[in-house]
Chain A
């Protein structure tokens, strides 16, 4: 799996847009980028996945530049309930993607 680097923590306020960037300089051609969200004492939950350019769903947007060496998870208008740890993972969809290694993630704290 490509090694990823994320900020350890971030702070924001309700109603703001939050952008969390993940660096993955050695991403391989067949690697996808996946983000998970984990609330305290709960299992991580899939948020979004992408390969290139931009992906948007009802929860977040994922921006991936042309060189794919980084990606940015964008959370629009965060609320207190978005306080969680966010993990960025990079790997192929199948074959060789045997170990799902979670890094330390980014601990997002949303304040009133």
Chain B
């Protein structure tokens, strides 16, 4: 158990719909990351938040957005869903602190399986 909690574990929705994936980081971690992994594909970095602020953005579509709340949980919002958005979405967290020489190990949750039909 990594300590990172993701909900829901499985989600089936129709094209054009919108879903929200939720993540609770490990206790004490301020940095949250979102990744997408399609079937037999590598992990695609989407976005990182640190203490509520967006810190880095990867290959995240404009239809996708994320935020990190004051209690440090994060949500990934996926809208206007397409069949190609079907994937496993991982949240991860780390003890990363700007300027501190530690914390680059990241811990992944079990993922949220999204199926768009």
Contacts and interface: CB of A to CB of B under 8 A. Distances in A.
B83 interface: no
Interface residues of A, number: 25
Given A94-B99, A95-B98, A104 B104 contact: no
Residue among A92, A100, A101 with most chain B CB within 10 A: A100
Residue among A34, A43, A46 with most chain B CB within 10 A: A43
A98 B48 contact: yes
Given A43-B2, A99-B45, A92 B104 contact: yes
B19 interface: no
B111 A42 contact: yes
Given A43-B92, A105-B42, A32 B104 contact: yes
Residue among A87, A94, A95, A99 with most chain B CB within 10 A: A94
A95 B55 CA distance: 11
A44 interface: yes
A54 interface: no
B42 A104 contact: yes
Contacts of A59: none
16 contacts: A34-B104, A34-B105, A41-B111, A42-B111, A43-B108, A44-B43, A46-B107, A91-B104, A92-B104, A93-B103, A94-B98, A94-B99, A97-B96, A98-B55, A100-B104, A105-B42
Given A102-B42, A104-B42, 8 more contacts: A41-B113, A43-B109, A93-B104, A94-B98, A97-B104, A99-B45, A102-B43, A103-B42
